[in-house]
Amino acid sequence: MNTIEKKEGNPLLSIYFTAGYPELDSTIRIAKKLEEAGADFLEIGFPYSDPVADGPVIQHSSEVALANGMTVKKLFEQLRELRQHVQIPVFLMGYVNPVIQFGVEKFCEECKNVGVNGVIIPDLPMYEYEDLYRETFEKNGIANIFIVTPQTSTERIRKIDSLSNSFIYLLSSNATTGKTLDVGEDTNAYFKRIHDLQLNNPLIVGFGISNRDTFQKASQYTTGAIIGSAFVKRLTEQDYMNQIPDFIKSIKG
């Protein structure tokens, strides 16, 4: 089942990290450690040479991963052992160009084969997904996660909800990744507006979540939140694997 499920009274924490960073073979080890530490679901990024929506931290991780030799093909080879070690939902995140180069049908089939629940492709237009790829995604049981921004109209949000079967990725702002979330009146009103639509799919907030305070604030009107840049920064430190439990504890308590 692709849908993520909220634990009673507790917001869900998702962690993003880039496949092949900091080391080519660290992907499964990091995923396993994150689950053991208490992450509720994961987003594994497949690197791309022109990550326009990403801030400097994730851009750098993509550059290093590509230099290490990470490719979509290599990632699927690594993920063949994913479900031997990780039971929580796993989503892949990246840009549409590498997916098209790999082949959309082949990409969805590989996701199914390795146990990936869904994908987040920010630059895949909704109409293109619906007209060209929806059948392929659904045939393989792969959820396509759509993104909502503060400027997204109510009509479009309801359309996204009708096309979704997992969760909706709620951008905290129009900034790139890595910016600190400022939950002021405008942001609170935005989160509440989407919450009050009473959509069928859970809302998960991304961009700017970096610590316990921003995680709790972002989760006030949603099912949970995603931390990316703040975690990827930790992967630059020595003995980073053994620091993962403390990082998750600092967010979830």
204: β partners: 169, 224
Are the CB atoms for 42 and 87 separated by under 8 Å? no
Could you give the CA distance from residue 37 to residue 15 in angstroms, rounded to a whole number?
11
* Active-site annotation holds for 54: yes
**Active-site annotation holds for 43:** yes
- Asked if the bond preceding 56 is cis, omega within 30° of 0, the reply is no
Amino acid in position 162: S
Question: 34, exposed or middle or buried, with CB in 10 Å at 0-12, 13-18, 19+?
Answer: buried
Cβ contact 44:91 at 8 Å:
yes
Those residues whose C-beta lies under 8 Å from the C-beta of residue 194, and which sit 6 or more positions away, are 148, 157, 170, 203, 221, 222
SS3 224: strand
Q: Which of 43, 50, 77, 110 is catalytic?
A: 43
Q: For residue 4, with 0-12 CB atoms within 10 Å meaning exposed, 13-18 middle and 19 or more buried, which class applies?
A: buried
Instruction: Report the run of H or E that residue 227 belongs to, with start and end.
Output: strand 224-227
**Distance from C-alpha of 92 to C-alpha of 154, rounded to nearest angstrom:** 27
- Name the active-site residue from 36, 54, 109, 110: 54
Which residues are known catalytic residues?
Answer: 43, 54
